[in-house]
Structures are given as structure tokens and as C-alpha cells.
Amino acid sequence: MQFKVHMLAFGEPERVRMVTIPDKEVSPIESELLDQIFYYGQNDFAVGPEKNTTCSVSAGDVIELGVVGQGGKYIMVRMAGFGEITPEEFAEHRAMDRQDRTFNRFVF
């Protein structure tokens, strides 16, 4: 199964990485699923075609779970853990200069 990650920590706003998790390993528990997306989003552990096509998932990147606006949500990869952000906060974070995103309040 693939999950969309907006690569905003070190990439440009248009850069999206599809993180592949082996179907038999996908957790139904959201907190575990987020850990899996982060783990398989690391180039050292990636299993899909995205391996080494971009930098690894990092704090400041945004995971898109489901379809936003149809029950889906944006999840910020924080310095420690994860946190849901609104579509408006996602737009604000995405519009910032890449270097300024590192210090955005959503990342801490």
C-alpha cells in the first residue's frame, strides 16, 4: 500500500513521495501506521520504487492520510512524533520559504 508524503522539510512544495508499505504489514492502528510510514520513508528501509529518488522522510514533512476533505487528514512529522494539522495550516506551512519551515510552530 502507498501513502503520500509532501516533502516539505528539504524539498519544494510540489515534491511528493509515495511511501510503500508491504500490504501484509500495514497496521490498522493510526499511531503504528504513522511509524511505519516514517520507517519505510527512510531510504535505508524503503521497499518501493521511491527508494533513493528523494531524501528520506523528515520532521517538517506532511503525511496525507486518506483523501483530505473526505475524511482524510494531514499529519505533520514533528521533531518528536506526529500531529494533525488543518488544511489551512498545511497551506501556510507549504507557502513558507523552505528554510523557514524548519522553525514553523507545527514542527515542534
Could you read off the pLDDT of 32-61 as tens digits, one per residue? Answer: 999 999 999 999 999 988 777 888 999 999
Residue 45: what are its φ and ψ, rounded to 5°?
Answer: -120, 0
pLDDT at 97: 81
pLDDT at 108: 73
Q: Please state the pTM of the whole predicted model.
A: 0.89
Terminus-to-terminus CA distance in the chain, angstroms?
Answer: 29
Q: Are 50 and 30 in contact (CB under 8 A)?
A: no
Number of domains in the chain: 1
For residues 65-84, average pLDDT: 87
The pLDDT of residue 69 is above 70: no
Q: Are 49 and 33 in contact (CB under 8 A)?
A: no
| Mean pLDDT of all residues belonging to the chain | 89
Q: Are 39 and 78 in contact (CB under 8 A)?
A: no
Is residue 34 included in any domain, yes or no? yes
The domain containing residue 47 runs over which residues? 2-103
Lowest pLDDT segment from 60-64, 90-94, 97-101: 97-101
Tell me how far apart the alpha carbons of residues 42 and 77 are, in angstroms, rounded to a whole number: 13
Name the grid cell of 64. 496525507
pLDDT at 10: 85
Give me the amino acid identity at 42: Q
Is residue 41 included in any domain, yes or no? yes
Is residue 108 included in any domain, yes or no? no
pLDDT at 105: 75
